[in-house]
Amino acid sequence: MQRDAMKFLTDYAHALDRRDEERLIDFCLLPTVVMNDNDKRVFIQGEELAKACHVMVRRLKEANIVYHKPNLTQAIRLSDTLHFLKMRWQLLDKDKQVIFTCATSYTLQQVSDGTLKIIVAVVDDDRKSFFSFFAKNDESEAIG
């Protein structure tokens, strides 16, 4: 499980680094829940998720975040297809200096092709800044 978890997180980090919105969407299995202590977003339709990914990528870029380094702290097999990961993201600038870190846990489901997909992401943001990247967007931020 540890090896599969690190492969998932490394692949996810590369998609974030490349700002590959289509690939980021592909890491999720609908419905997908993204939440923190105060907010919860439930994505039922792909268009909602695509819009949120677009806004997240744009906000990460505006924050000058270029690299995303995953640090896995725990991987637990919950069932044959469900897995839980606890990790900490390091978000870095172009010089690979840490801008901030963010603890996140993922509940993942293994699908028929063997890949892991996010069904729940819980963001435990010490500085209360990262979750704003997932904040609800208005119609003016829709993908054109």
For residue 12, CA distances in Å to 23, 80, 115 come to: 8, 22, 12
Contact 105, 133 (CB under 8 A): no
Full pLDDT tens readout for the chain, 144 residues: 788 899 999 999 999 999 999 999 999 999 999 988 888 899 999 999 999 999 989 988 988 999 999 999 999 999 999 999 999 999 999 999 999 888 999 999 999 999 999 999 998 865 555 555 555 554 434 333
Query: What domains appear along the chain, each with residue ranges and CATH number?
Result: 2-133 (3.10.450.50)
Q: What's phi and psi for 43, nearest 5 deg?
A: -100, 115
Phi and psi (nearest 5°) for 101?
-120, 160
Per-residue model confidence (pLDDT) at position 144: 30
pLDDT attached to residue 141: 40
The pTM of the full predicted model, rounded to 2 decimals, is 0.86
CA 25 to chain centre: 9
Residues 143 and 53 sit within 8 Å (Cβ to Cβ): no
